[in-house]
Each structure stands twice: as C-alpha cells, then as structure tokens.
Amino acid sequence: MHPLPEPASLPSLLLSSGGWRPEWGRTRAGGMSRAGGMRPPWNQERAPEERLPSATEPGRQWSMVRRMLTAGLLFSLLLGFSLLLVYIFRSCGPGPCMTPVCWDLLARYLASGNTSVAPCTDFFNFACGQAKGTDYSFQALAEENKKRLRRILEAPGSWHLGSGEEKAFQFYSSCMDTDAIEAAGAAPLRQVIEELGGWRISGNWTSLDFNRTLRLLMSQYGYFPFFRAYLRPRPTPPYTPVIQIDQPEFDVPLKQEKEQKIYAQIVREYLTYLNQLGTLLGGEPNKVQEHAFLSISITSQLFQFLRPLEQRRAQGKLFQMVTIDQLQEMAPAIDWLSCLQATFTPMPLSPSQLLLVHDLEYLKNMSQLVEEQLSIHRDFLQSHMILGLVRTLSPALDSKFQEARRSLIQKLGELTERPPMPARPRWMKCVEETGTFFEPTLATLFVREAFSPSTQSAAMELFTAIKNALVSRLRRIPWMDEKTRKEAQNRVTQLQVKMGAPEWALKPSLARQEYNDVGPCPCQLLISPQLLLSPLTRLSGRQSVHPGRSLTNPFLALIQLGPSYLQSFLSCVRSLRARIVQSFLQSFPYHRWQVSPWGVNAYYSIPDHVVVFPAGLLQPPFFHPGYPSTPWGLPSL
C-alpha cells in the first residue's frame, strides 16, 4: 500500500494545471493584459463582495443628476418669481412723477431742508430746517393768489359797458393811478367835509344837528365814531341775523397795561398826527391844535368807559337783547331809530325792533358824554367826528396823508415795542379793495383761470376717501358704544363739502347774475372805511355771494366811479352796504360762503354742517391734481 502524497498547495496545483499564474494578478493590479492569453470574464475574476458596487453605481449617478435638476428647477422658479414681482411693482405701481408740477414741488421741499444737519440724528431739521412754518406757507400762498388777481386785473381786454368786469377794472386802474391821486390832493376830502357841514378848523362851519351829521357818517361813509352797528347772526340758534351794537374801534392803542404806562408819549404822537391832518386840509395851526387836543380828550374818556370782554362775560352782560325804544331811553343822546334806519335801509325797523347790545353800560356813559359836549362844545364834537373820518379816509388820498399815517404807525410801534409792519406794495392794496367791492366779478375770473374741473374732481375724490376712511375707522373703535357710533357715523356721512367757489362762480351761465340780490356771508361786518383803509387793521378774507334771480344789476348801478379815487371808493362802500343788507332780507336754503374763492382758509360751518375749501387753498404746493397722493398737504406740516 502506497502512502498518500502530501497535499499540494493551491498555487502549485494551479500552476501545474496551467490555470493561474502570477502575471494575472499583476495584470489586474497593474492594469496590464496578459500577452497572447485569453482574459477570463469579469465575474469570474472578482469575489462576490467585490461585485456589489457594480450593481448600485448607476443608481447613485442618477440620484445625483436628479438632485441637480431639482435644485436648478427651484432656482429657476425663484428667479422667475422674483423677476415677476419686480415687473409687477415697476409696471403696476406709481412711477416717479416727472411732470413740471412735481419738479416744482420737489424744489420747494429741497428749499425747506437743511443739508448741514445729519439726517440720522435730526431728521426733522434735515427735512424742514429751512421751513418757516404753516402760517408762512399760507401767507405765501395768499400773496401768490393776489398776484394772480393782479395779472387778471392788468390784462388787456374789452368788457360790456357798465358790466361788473368793466367797473372792477376801472376801479383798480383808478386806485393804481397815483399821478391822478397826487394831482387831486386834499380837494376830494374837503368836498366830503363840506357835505357834512364843514368844521371850525377851516373857518367854514355850519352848525347842523348832531344826529344828522352822525346819520350821514354812518349811512353814507360807513364811519361810526361812538359805537359800531352791524348785521350778524345771533350767537345762539336759530342764528337769525340781528342788528348788533358794539364798542367802537379806537385808533390809539391803549388796551394793554404796558401801553397805558406810556400813555403820555402815545398821546403826544397822536396829537402830532392830528395836527398834520388838519394842516394838510388848510386849517389854522392854532385852531387845529386846540380841536385835536379836545378830540383826543373825548377819545380818552370813551376809552375809560370800556369794560374788558372777560368782565362782561363773567357778569352775563356780553349779549343783551333790548328794543330800539328801550335803548333810546337808556342812551337818549343818539337818535337810534333814524340812524339805524338810514344805515340799514331797506330793512324795515320800528321802535320795537330787537337789538343785540354788547356793552350796555358803555352806551349809557357814551350818551352822557355826548350830551355834555353838545351843551358846551358842539363845534369841538363836530371836529372830533370829522377828524375821525379824515383819519380813516386819509390812505385814499395823496402821499402826504399816507406819509403822515406811516410815521404815526412807526412811532407807535417803537413805543409799544411791536415789530414794524412791512410796507405793502400799492398793487396789493388795490387788489384787496377791488376784491372787496367786486368779489362776484373777480371770483368768476379767478375760478376760470385757477380752478379747473379736474382740480375740483380730484379734491372731491380726496375728501371722499378721507370721509370713508373715517367712517370705517368709527366701526372699529372698541371704546364707543353702538348708539354713539351710529350717531357719529351719521354725522360724518351727512357732512357736506364745498370745493372751490360758490355754484354760480363755477357755472358760466350764472356768471352775469352775481350782483343780483347778493351779499357777503352772515358773519361779515358792515363794511366801513376803517376795515378797508386803516393800516392798523388787516383786511380779512370774507364775503360770500349768491346767485341772483334776474339779469338786472341794481347794485352795480349804485357804483358811480370818478372823478376822483376817493369818490369811487365811497360809492363802492355804499353799494356793498346795500348788498349786505339786501342779502339778510332774503332766506337762502343753501350755505353762504364765508370766504372769497381766492382765500386760503378752509372752515367748518356748524349751523349748515358744511366744510368749505376755497379755490385759493387748492393750489400748489398744497394741492394739484397731478400730485401723487402722498404729498397732498405736506407743505402745511
């Protein structure tokens, strides 16, 4: 039995059988092929665990590709959505305003800023450091509106003979004709004094009845030397118009305690002024000084009779209703019925007519003083009344009278430490007076040029949006009960708004009827030269006018212009007073405007529940239909 041979090693067996050689392994490891041999299949060369990666490799590659495609798609969607948003905001939203009105508004904003201030630390001064405040903005706009009126009045044109346009332009030209005013001198005023009976200062005096002179002063010249009388609504419902008797307006400033301490100095300056007026009118210096001194004495005594407003209100004597007959008994020196009838014609008056008196004690003391002066110094009382009229009418005369007035104002301002009043150009004074007497005419012309229908529509749209927003806000207020909320919503919903001008001024078909049965608003005082000419009193924006009912112009016929500017002015005063009285004799179912269309003050009327925005306010930089919605109203900040 032969012994078994030793087991051969696996390499030796493979070598002997010709199956495996070391070169194969090197070929696989080194990447070289066997020369002249046949390479076995890949699945026969590797172990099972080495064959697993080959099965998952394509899946990994596909997963990576899928992730990349998903990321690219998401990025594309995000980019497309961003571009879409940019397109929407740039195309659908409001673009930058490049119109001339917007550039002008931008220039105003830039001019109001202060670039020397760091915006991050003090943005208000950076944006508004050079702004002069709301009052200055409104004042600047008011002056711009007056310049527009000046351009209208100075523009060449032809008008119907006797029309409001012709008389308005003629009156303005007469006011601006300083050469004719200088040539006339004091002659027109001397003629007025003669119509009143003259005065002893000039040596030509006719002793007339005191109440006759007072009646002429009140009715023909609108001057009230001892008291004021005007038509105004009652201070309480039903707000019906009533004749009111009030304290007079004194030319000498003595209302403040500080002014009373320098009373002697003020009196000396005022005495100098009255002496100048008397001398310019041809009076003898000695007589002028004597009458001027007694006139100041009468004014001083009347001033002592005044009671402060707070005192009268505390005593419940601010508004007292009395009849004309009762007032006649308490203040008998004045013939109340005849004076008031002449002033407020054609208003029917009787002794039982109720009057609203503001200071009854003053009227009693004033009457007593007048009676004393009539018994001893009748001629001095006449001079006192005429000097007061001369004082108020002097700005309508030549430069000598106006220079005397300016000198008085300057010296009184220095004594009372008040800032000097800036000198106003002649054209502004003439525009204001023309606007007062011919408001219906200028209102139509101003609206035609400065207030287009598109402006009115844009303003109404803005107000409606604000009104609706307020109603919506009221619905969400948590602390308001349901009843109060409904009342507030109804009140806001029922609020009316008037934009631009009265209806007749917006419609050309009514433009020719503006002087018929029209007049200023109920709040307007009876016009007097003191309100129009005195530099110490600012001419207030006022009058509302209403359309008439016929094509005749009775009040225009009352205006007789020429031959002097003073006579034209006084004729306009009488015509305007007649229009005012006539307007109170009629009832109107709609609101009567309290400002002129070129005014810059909006207001709210409690009795009519109406808010009014005049055309003069709806002008750049406060409003323009071409403005973006954001800057509306910003100039008022």
Quick one: 231 and 286 in the same domain? yes
Segment 375-384 mean pLDDT? 90
Quick one: 260 and 373 in the same domain? yes
Say what the pLDDT of residue 548 is.
34
> In this predicted model, which residue has the larger pLDDT, 493 or 548?
493
Segment 578-606 mean pLDDT? 85
How many domains does the chain contain in total?
Answer: 2
Segment 381-395 mean pLDDT? 91
Percent of residues, the chain, with pLDDT higher than 90: 41
DSSP state at residue 564: S
Quick one: 209 and 305 in the same domain? yes
Q: Is the pLDDT of residue 351 over 90?
A: yes
Quick one: 471 and 570 in the same domain? yes
Quick one: 261 and 371 in the same domain? yes
Say what the pLDDT of residue 417 is.
80
Judge whether 27 lies within some domain: no
Q: Which residues are bridge partners to 199 per DSSP?
A: 204
Judge whether 126 lies within some domain: no
What's the CATH code of the domain at 322? Answer: 1.10.1380.10
Say what the pLDDT of residue 258 is.
57
3-class secondary structure for 110-169?
HHHCCCCCCCCCCHHHHHHCCCCCHHHHHHHHHHHHHHHHHHHHHCCCCCCCCCHHHHHH
Judge whether 597 lies within some domain: yes
Instruction: Give the model's confidence band at 157: pLDDT under 50 very low, under 70 low, under 90 confident, else very high.
Output: confident
Quick one: 253 and 320 in the same domain? yes
Please report the sign of the dihedral spanned by the C-alpha atoms of residue 115, residue 118, residue 120, residue 124: negative
19-22-24 Cα angle (round to 5): 70
Quick one: 251 and 356 in the same domain? yes
Say what the pLDDT of residue 423 is.
83
Question: What residues make up the domain containing 298?
Answer: 186-396
Does the reported pTM lie above 0.85? no
Question: What CA–CA distances, in Å, run from 435 to 64, 150, 232, 429?
Answer: 87, 10, 21, 10
Instruction: Give the model's confidence band at 495: pLDDT under 50 very low, under 70 low, under 90 confident, else very high.
Output: very high
**Among 396, 430, 465, where does a domain finish?**
396
Quick one: 381 and 445 in the same domain? no
The average confidence (pLDDT) of the chain is 80
pLDDT tens-digit readout, 4-37: 444 444 444 434 444 444 444 444 444 444 444 4
pLDDT tens-digit readout, 216-260: 999 999 999 999 999 988 888 777 889 999 999 887 765 555 566
Judge whether 46 lies within some domain: no
Quick one: 384 and 467 in the same domain? no
Segment 86-93 mean pLDDT? 67
Judge whether 416 lies within some domain: no
pLDDT tens-digit readout, 177-186: 999 999 999 9
Instruction: Give the model's confidence band at 137: pLDDT under 50 very low, under 70 low, under 90 confident, else very high.
Output: confident
Q: At how many degrees (to 10) do helices 360-376 and 378-393 cross?
A: 120
Say what the pLDDT of residue 508 is.
55
Segment 477-482 mean pLDDT? 90
Quick one: 203 and 254 in the same domain? yes
